[in-house]
Structure 1
């Protein structure tokens, strides 16, 4: 067998083998969670990798220990409101930074980007003091407010707005449309893939948020699914089968959102403009 023929055979084998191995490593944690929902806590601790018969018992224990409708409602409310307000504010900011010119524009934009370098650990105490003085501790508003002005999403929308055809804006102005009408009736439909990608990013971050809700949400009635799962896992005698059921249920909404919008997500991340 010639060297060229050998390389032609080995090349695809190695490439697909590597891709398959990386795909398996990526999906293995979720597969292990699914297997864990069917096993007892002792089997999970032993590292059992085969399906068991404790699924119904684990599900029954989870719903008996947790007020599932309430905590999922709390998580959904926070994630959806945070996503809607973040997209509204950040898209307007990104649009404004790109479309309107002034001497201070780039300085203000650079100052916003610099906030990405500040770790959240340095902001926790000032934020907590602010929320305490406003009387918002143990409320979902305290979780929402710090997430609305996202420097990364502002940056993302400004970069995406660079691909927005300026001819459309000029033609709309000639037709007599005001700036807010251009934004609502032209910019939003044209940039829908960008909004879809940003929706997935912000929704997943809000749904999976843990540290800040842990600090400001102090009663069981206001807690989210991530906090409840953490409480189950940190118990004196944690039942890991129950924890796995909670982890799988907490993962499903983000999976559903991603698979429903994955095509728009890819288009948005590639800067596609319709």
Structure 2
């Protein structure tokens, strides 16, 4: 009976795995086919890979520029978000006062506000800025630097941080900034890795706000370009598949390179 249950479990998981991975397989095969074959749902690899790649990078969509724009915005956003959120999460957990929990509760309440409700205020605010106004990378980066979720994530992981190390550092004469940079950051690297993956993937795939903030074609990011390709009068699905595969690679590479730290960070580990 135990063997039957085990066999059924593996069969069920295998079926779910195949169903989950099938769209990615179809996407990889689609980038090698002509548009008409992709429309038919062909699962046979074709010979149009180089042609689709050539059409993608030689089109008027500036796909290569959009890759650079997405990479620049995502990397800068991730670095700044980790700095701000880790400082805030560390401060909320380590330094105790009467107003701390009230401020943190208000911060958590902000997570319940849908982004659709913030778009108009953000647009009006950035439209008044001259240096960091609309149609600049800063307009996309600044709203993503400090997020309630990331601050909450760092605070929750800081709860498992050994406080005795802090006291030892203070006894050794380290100031608070030195304790943070020399003790906290190295100890919490799994948390930083998990937060970096979440932030990078979110920034790379961000669509709604860049669509509003980035109005010039040369400033558009990858999701905007792919959306433009799909909304044309006669979409070239082979080229679209090639673009989607290339757009997926950075997030996939970041995740697989850091997945061990990601799992440890999500579980609240502070081990190196």
1:225 aligned to which of 197, 211, 222: 222
Matches within 5 A, 1:107-126: 107-126=102-121
Q: CA RMSD in A?
A: 0.9
Shift of 1:9: 2.0
How far apart are the structure 1 equivalents of 2:189 and 2:3? 43
* Contact 2:81–2:146, Cα closer than 8 Å, also in 1: yes
The runs of 5 or more residues in structure 2 that have no matched partner are: none
Q: Runs in 1 of length 4+ with deviation above 3 angstroms?
A: none
Shift of 1:197: 0.5
2:16 aligned to which of 14, 19, 22: 22
2:91 counterpart of 1:100: no
Matches within 5 A, 1:1-274: 7-65=1-59, 66-135=61-130, 136-274=133-271
Shift of 1:25: 2.2
Which residue does 1:3 correspond to in 2?
none
* Contact 2:52–2:238, Cα closer than 8 Å, also in 1: yes
How far apart are the structure 2 equivalents of 1:124 and 1:25? 36
How far apart are the structure 1 equivalents of 2:15 and 2:79? 37
Matched length: 268
Shift of 1:143: 0.2
Shift of 1:60: 1.2
Shift of 1:69: 3.0
Shift of 1:251: 0.2
How far apart are the structure 1 equivalents of 2:17 and 2:265? 23
Question: In structure 2, the residue corresponding to 1:261 is in which secondary structure?
Answer: helix
How far apart are the structure 1 equivalents of 2:69 and 2:62? 11
How far apart are the structure 1 equivalents of 2:15 and 2:207? 30
Question: In structure 2, the residue corresponding to 1:221 is in which secondary structure?
Answer: helix
Shift of 1:30: 1.3
Shift of 1:227: 0.6
How far apart are the structure 2 equivalents of 1:26 and 1:140? 34
Question: In structure 1, the residue corresponding to 2:217 is in which secondary structure?
Answer: coil
Shift of 1:201: 0.3
Deviations 1:189-223 (A, max 9, x none): 00000000000000000001001000010111111
How far apart are the structure 2 equivalents of 1:179 and 1:87? 18
How far apart are the structure 2 equivalents of 1:143 and 1:273? 31
